[in-house]
Amino acid sequence: MFVLGIESTAHTFGIGIVDAEGMTLADAKSVYSPDEGGIHPREAAEHHQESCLLVLQKALSQASISLPQLCAVAFSQGPGLPPALRVGAVMARGLAYSLKIPLIGVNHCLAHVEHARYFSKAERPLIVYLSGGNTQLTTLEENRYRIFGETLDIALGNMLDMFGRAAKLKHPGGPKIEKLARHADGTYLSLPYTVKGMDLAFSGLLTAAKRLLKEGADLKSVCYSLQETAFSMVAEVVERALAHTQRTELLVTGGVAANNRLREMLQIVAQNQSACFASVPPKHAGDNGAMIAYTGLLLQRGKIETLLSASRVQPKWRLDQVEIVWD
Ligand code: ATP
Ligand code: FE2
């Protein structure tokens, strides 16, 4: 029994395959990277169309299985860029229909969260989900993920990518900023710090960091100061949330969780609050098909599937709208 999962919300076209225990047997992907500027939705969709069959072949060969051995096809139904989402949805419908197996629409945010929980084995963690489109603090309460802190404007990863563009770094900026910051001499340049209760805002920080660049400040020092400021803001809300919720486990997930400095800071926060710290493994932090396949497996165990008539993509689907039928 194998579940195949298709990811196509934004830059990545990925196909993963998991076995009945949720273990990843395949995690194939092709990532669209614009020559300049940010992600263009139509270009991302074209990239996905061109690469989808090759990625499918790669995934099947990694897992050493053939299509008739699949018992369900899961796909990222949202949130994401509509043209990109549709490529994955069309492929998933075609596979499910021709193989006569269930189709399972998966919320992409839920997949980041559940896959991280799977690796960490944390029971009731406070989860920080930091990525290109999301910055959320959440806990599972009965049958919903409750979001009690998020960004008021742009997501943390998006802010890093936009700064990266201003600094002429190739998309995505996050990993390049991390590298530059690591080689900085530790000079901290003052930047605005915006925390409102459990919420965060990053656009003022972005504007100020871009201004520093224009004024000729050293790029490495700006990257360092940008990371230190943004990650301290996250650390502050996480610390408060741990104290309020009295959760004893902290789990970080999403593309930005690949950042070593961020994980280091959150680990210190967890320690101060006597909580255990865990992170999604960096290689599974960014978008991938395996997390969709794994969440598809959870949904299938919960007897949830998606009828063809209900399989339209949901570009604005939020994590807290999903009913959770497992612990
Ligand atoms: P979402 O999950 O909100 O839909 P997404 O699908 O665009 O977001 P992910 O792959 O989950 O994307 O995350 C991508 C983001 O992670 C990008 O903004 C990227 O810059 C950031 N990122 C990746 N690696 C690092 C790193 N080492 N340091 C900081 N940010 C990083
Ligand atoms: Fe993502």
For residue 215, give every residue at least 6 positions away whose Cβ sits within 8 Å of its Cβ, in sequence order, or none: none
What does the alpha-carbon distance between residue 187 and residue 67 come to, in Å, rounded to a whole number?
Answer: 55
Same domain, 169 and 296: no
CB 175 less than 6 A from any atom of ligand 1: yes
Query: What tokens does 183 get?
Result: 């080689």
Cα four-point dihedral sign 132, 137, 139, 141: negative
How far apart are alpha carbons 111 and 114 in whole angstroms? 5
Ligand 1 centroid to residue 14 C-alpha, Å: 15
- Which residue blocks in the chain are alpha helix, DSSP H? 41-63, 82-99, 108-120, 156-166, 173-182, 203-214, 219-245, 260-272, 289-301
Kindly report whether the global pTM for this prediction surpasses the value 0.75: yes
Q: Three-class SS string for 136-183?
A: EEEEEECCEEEEEEEECCCCHHHHHHHHHHHCCCCCCHHHHHHHHHHC
Is 290 in the same domain as 280? no
Number of folded domains that form the chain = 2
Residues 184 and 106 in one domain: no
pLDDT for the residue 13: 98
Extract the residue ranges of the chain whose pLDDT is less than 70.
none
Q: Both 271 and 128 in a single domain?
A: yes
The residue contributing the CA closest to ligand 1 atom 3 is 133
Range of the domain at 13: 2-112+286-321
**Cis check: omega of the bond before 82, within 30 degrees of 0:** no
Residues 136 and 10 occupy one common structural domain: no
Q: Following DSSP, what letter does each residue of 226-243 receive, concatenated?
A: HHHHHHHHHHHHHHHHHH
Which of 261, 287, 291 for mutating ligand 1's site (highest number of atoms within 8 Å of CB)? 287
What pLDDT does residue 156 have? 98
Q: How confident is the model over 121-135, as pLDDT tens digits?
A: 899 999 999 999 999
Q: Are residues 128 and 233 in the same domain?
A: yes
Domain of residue 144, CATH code: 3.30.420.40
Query: In this structure, are residues 131 and 157 in contact, taking their beta carbons and an 8 Å threshold?
Result: yes
Write down the pLDDT at residue 37.
82
Sequence length of the chain is 327
Please write down the long-range contacts of 153-156, taking CB distance under 8 Å and 24 or more positions apart.
153/201, 153/202, 153/203, 154/202, 154/203, 154/206, 155/130, 155/131, 155/202, 156/130, 156/131, 156/200, 156/202, 156/230, 156/234, 156/256
In a domain, 164, yes or no: yes
Both 130 and 279 in a single domain? yes
Q: How far is CA 252 from the centre of its chain?
A: 10
Query: How many angstroms separate the alpha carbon of residue 154 from the centre of ligand 1?
Result: 13
Are both 155 and 238 inside the same structural domain?
A: yes
Rounded distance from Cα 134 to ligand 2 centre (Å): 8
Task: Look at residue 99 and tell me if it is in a domain.
Answer: yes
User: pLDDT value at position 35?
Assistant: 84
Question: Residue 70 is inside which H or E element, if any?
Answer: strand 70-78
Domain-embedded: residue 326: no
> With a 6 A CB cut-off, is 161 part of the ligand 1 pocket?
yes
Q: Which region, left, alpha or beta, applies to residue 100 given φ > 0 means left and ψ of -120 to 50 means alpha?
A: left
Residue 281 · residue 252 · CB < 8 Å: no
Q: Any residues with CB less than 8 A from the CB of 123 and at least 6 apart, and which?
A: 249
